[in-house]
Amino acid sequence: MSTSIIAGSTGLVGNNILNQLCENNHNVVAVSRSPISGLSSKVTELVIDFESFLTNGSLPKCDHVFLCLGTTLKIAGNKNNYRRVDFDYSLGIAKKALESGAKKLTLISSGGADSSSKNFYLRVKGELEDAIINLGFESVNIFRPGFLTGAGGRKRALSEKILMKLAKLLDLVLVGSAKKYRSINAEVLAKKMVSTLDSKPGINYYYYKDFIKP
């Protein structure tokens, strides 16, 4: 049986991926900063300090890595700290997974990600995509969702809870080429990401229309 590593397993999407893999009796290694309560006995927990891990750490043998790390500018405090988490930590995990035998990588990015974007958030997401593609994985699956909704992950700020409730209304005005930015439920997105365990070689991009396919 293959083994998957999840970086960001306590987040909104990562937590849903973790639950779905456990339901399918898949071997899972959950990477986190601190112990995760209520973990299934099917999961191997790997608690790390990301700073020291980037220099001296290693990952157990694996076949597939799910990159679901992420923060917000508000939580990070500044752009440097934000980039450290979203770019440096994510890329570091990807490199360690490749060294440990992973052939496939699945990344949650963002709709509009572009390394040449003037928007800081979208530029960092795009730069991470480019850097990961250049690592040489057999299969790279990049998911570009719009606003994420659903349960799980960290405690949400009031403003985020309000946006989640308004998301379906906002979706009504996102038509045509803007449809790809519609909100998506994290559980639905996670299910599609889990399906990439069987992905074909190459660079594969996924958008809203792909998430909602059976």
Give the pair of three-digit tokens for residue 42: 């099917």
User: How many Å apart are CA 75 and CA 33, to the nearest integer?
Assistant: 15
Among residues 125, 181, 206, 208, which one is catalytic?
125
- Given the residues 42, 103, 121, 180, select the one marked as catalytic: 121
| Type of residue found at 135 | L
Helices and strands, number each (H, E), in the chain? 9, 9
What sections of 11-134 are H helices per DSSP? 12-23, 50-56, 73-76, 79-83, 90-99, 120-133
179 in active site: no
Report angle CA 68, 74, 76 to the nearest 5 degrees. Answer: 60
Q: Of 44, 43, 127, 116, which Cα lies nearest the Cα of 90?
A: 127
C-alpha distances (whole Å) from 126 to each of 36, 80, 115, 191, 210 are 30, 16, 4, 23, 20
Distance CA 184, CA 167 (A): 9
On the 0-12 / 13-18 / 19+ scale of CB atoms within 10 A, 172 is exposed
Clarify whether 82 is annotated catalytic: no
Catalytic residues: 121, 125
